Structures are given as structure tokens and as C-alpha cells.
Structure 1
Amino acid sequence: MKQYFVTGTDTEVGKTYVTCHLLRAATQAKLTSIGYKPISAGCDLVDGEWVNEDAANIQKASGLSLPISEINPIALKPPIAPHIAASEAGVELTQDAIEKGLNHLQSYNVDFLLMEGAGGWRLPLSLGNENAPTRYLSDVVKSLNMPVILVVGMRLGCLNHAMLTAEAILADGLTIAGWVANDVTGNMTRYDENLTSLKAMMPAPLLAEIPFKAEPSDVVLQHAIEQLV
């Protein structure tokens, strides 16, 4: 089984969009696949359970048809920072809960598994004295020794965000399997020049380039899958 953690340079950079495309591309490549979003914040009540839109999209894109509770075991109602939403709901975000959900999905023995984070790399899970974070989701990924796919939201400031995130991932002793350039605005000044700079600067290969409000080609996605499996 090939498994990766999908993170981004910030929130709203297209992690779920990229995750879903990679899962569908894996299916097209005749690979069984599952997406896992252990923590989400921002849910609607659907048929008696809280459902996050991103998690629902990952559920649909996965090669196996599974209950939303398996894809997204920790679903928090308000669309705010998950550790704050969890604290208000009296829910503890623990490594054991995250790993339990992952282990369950691993038991399906699929070819390709993507675990998507929330927000950026340093997502707080628990708070200590004076509300200082004591544990991050990145600590869980580190303990799992899971290689990382970094989604870069192509917009002003992305070079700094991409490099700082990459440096943090590598400092945690993890491997960056590759990165995806996702055009999130469609109007980034000097887009091509910035993409060229990132290709030279990033310590990992470019897996795919996702155009603004347009579907990436099957060729691009299949090339990404080939690099990952």
C-alpha cells in the first residue's frame, strides 16, 4: 500500500480538490483507493449526522464506497479552527483517535491511501497552559512516518509559504513525495515566472499543475500517480 499525507501552504489552497483528483486518477489507473480526512470543522446535519463538504467529496472520490464516518471520524460543526471547535464541543483531538481511523482504513488493504490534513502543516490538536499548543497534527504524521504531498496555492506570497512549509516538513524528518501547483486565483501576476522559481527552489518534484477553474488533464494526473506509485 502506498499512503501519503496531503497538506497545504495554508487553508483554502485546494487540498481536497487535489486529493479528490488523485483518488480518481488512481481508480483510472486500476488501483483501489481510499481518502481519509480524520478531522474536519464546518459541517451540516445530514440524515442525523454531521457531514463536512470536503469529507463528502473525498468519500465520493474514493475507490471504495464507505460510510462518511469512516472517511471523517471527527466532524466538528462550526467552521473554525478545529482545536477551538473541539474544545467548545468537549471533544479531545487525540493521536489514538486519528490512528484508529487510519488503521481501520488500512485494513481494507487498498493500493493507494491519502490522508488529508486540515489547514496548514501546524494544525494544533491540544492546548496547554495559557492556551499554547502542546501537540500538532504534524506530530501525528511524524510518528506515522508518512511521506507528504504539499499543495501550493499559487498566489502572491506562495514562494515564502511553500518554502517555509517544506522546511518544516523536512525538519520533522519526513519526506516530501512531491508538490502540486494549484492556481487558486487565476490572476497571479507573473504566474509562470513564480512557477519556474518554485520548481528550482522546492526540494521535491512537481507532481502536477492544476489550472484555475479548469479540470487538469488525464495525462497530467496519470503522470502524478505514476510518480507516487
Structure 2
Amino acid sequence: MSTQDAALSLFVTGTDTEIGKTFVSSALLRGFVREGLQAAAMKPIAAGAFELNGELHNEDADQLDAASSVLLPPAMRTPYLLKEPAAPHIAAALENVTFDIDHIVACHREALNRADIVVVEGVGGFRVPLTATQDTADLAVALKLPVVLVVGMRLGCISHALLTAEAIAARGLTLAGWVANRVDPDMTFPDENIASIRAHLAREYDAPLLGVVPHLNPLAPELAAAQLDINRLLQTLRHAQR
């Protein structure tokens, strides 16, 4: 550990799929590295793997590794890597895989021994089914982590953000903050939408806006990191750890 005795960690979720969770997670990792932290990433469940040089890879997991300063063994970073690019429970059924949340928790516990901070990226939205009785919200609860919510700024985002924040709070988890990610460059009234979400989440959950990530093409996590209030997030994580 380079700057604190106990490692920090957070769970990154989103208002939907394809709204930039991996991009924002990579930006957070770059920001933590800039602050001198040994930063590692976990993508516990990833669907959509491809073979490269005889090994299975996943695009999201590879992007997270590229932004990390500590590389975890693939089996620890992504305990469940599925080939089919489908909802996790569907891909798992096709490949005869059963998700074991306790195994993911054990991998996370070991990851905390290897880094100052571990960013855990969820899969899809906050309540994507994993089994007949468990979803990704159950995974976040089992990990006992503060949550950062990525809001994809597009039509309908206000309701999606408020519903997801409500679901996070209902599970007894701390919403450590949220990030507005400009996924739709043609969205009308983006600033007004951001202001509305910001007011609701601050008032109802004391959750700050950690930053607004502009639409970037190509994606550049290092540029996005500059838009995020990394120090404020670290203060929240350290407070939650006490």
C-alpha cells in the first residue's frame, strides 16, 4: 500500500447498458493513478469473450487493465468470462456456468491485498439478473461497497438515474456520487437535465456530481479523468471505510 493502511474500493454501476461504465471506470482508474495510488480493476462478470493468442479476452476487461497500474491475474479480475455476448444469466445457461457470488467476494478480498484501490465494474444496469434469485445488486451488497453511478446523458436519463439511485438506497448501499456521461452529443437541454438529476440526488441521497464527461470520439479515459473530482470521491470512500 502506498498511501493508506487499508485498501479502498468502489462499485461502478450504470443507468443502463452501453452508457459508458467501462469508459468512466477507466477514467476513475487513471485519476487514482494520477493521485499516486496503486489502482486495480475487477470486472467480475463479463459476457462477450474472444480468443487472442490462445487466451480468452473481453474488450471491457482489457480496457480496464490498460487504465490500471496493478494488473490482477485474469481469473481474479474476471472470475466469470463468458463467450456469448448476451445477458449474463442467458450466456451462463448456454455455457453451463453457475455464478457464485461468494467466489467473487473472495477474489475481491485478495485483490484488496494487491492494490491501494480496486474499481469493481458491474455488468449492465444495477439489477441485471445473474441467477433465478440473484442480480448484480446482490453482488454489490455482498461486496459491501460504496457505489458510483454512471448516468448516460440521453432522453429518459432523469427517470433512469432516479430509479437506479432509489434501488441502490433500497439495498442499504451508499451512493458515493454520480458521473454524467455525454453519450448522445445531440441530446437537447443536457445542462438542464444534469441540473435536475444533480438537485434530486444531492437532496435525497447526499450524492455529489463527480463530473461531466463530454462526448469524446475517440474515447480518451485520460481526458475524461481530468473532468472528475477524484479527491472528493477519495474523501467519500475513506469516510465510508471508517
User: What amino acid sits opposite 1:72 in the alignment?
Assistant: T
**Could you tell me whether the CA contact under 8 Å between 1:25 and 1:225 is conserved in 2?**
no
**Could you tell me whether the CA contact under 8 Å between 2:211 and 2:227 is conserved in 1?**
yes
- State the distance in 2 between where 1:16 and 1:201 align: 25
Asked if 1:69 corresponds to 2:75, the answer is yes
- State the distance in 2 between where 1:218 and 1:4 align: 16
Aligned counterpart in structure 2 of residue 105 of structure 1, from 111, 119, 139:
111
Shift of 1:43: 1.0
State the Cα deviation string for residues 23-67 of structure 1 (Å, max 9, x = none): 011111111111100000011111222211000111111111333
Aligned counterpart in structure 2 of residue 220 of structure 1, from 188, 203, 227:
227
Aligned counterpart in structure 1 of residue 95 of structure 2, from 74, 89, 94:
89
Shift of 1:186: 0.4
Pair 9,217 (structure 1): closer, same or farther in 2 beyond 3 Å: closer
Partner of 2:238: none
TM-score (norm 1): 0.92
Partner of 2:239: none
Partner of 1:51: 57
User: What amino acid sits opposite 1:112 in the alignment?
Assistant: I
Whichever structure has more strand as a proportion of its residues is 1
Unmatched segments (≥5 aa) in structure 1: 128-133
Unmatched segments (≥5 aa) in structure 2: 1-6, 236-242
Shift of 1:218: 5.4
Q: Pick which of 6-15 and 209-218 moved more.
A: 209-218
Identity of aligned residues (%): 45
Aligned counterpart in structure 2 of residue 124 of structure 1, from 109, 125, 129:
129
Partner of 1:115: 120
**Could you tell me whether the CA contact under 8 Å between 1:32 and 1:112 is conserved in 2?**
yes
**Could you tell me whether the CA contact under 8 Å between 1:11 and 1:119 is conserved in 2?**
yes
- State the distance in 2 between where 1:14 and 1:167 align: 20
Aligned length: 221
User: What amino acid sits opposite 2:119 in the alignment?
Assistant: L
Shift of 1:217: 5.7
- State the distance in 1 between where 2:224 and 2:181 align: 13
Shift of 1:101: 1.8
Asked if 1:3 corresponds to 2:6, the answer is no
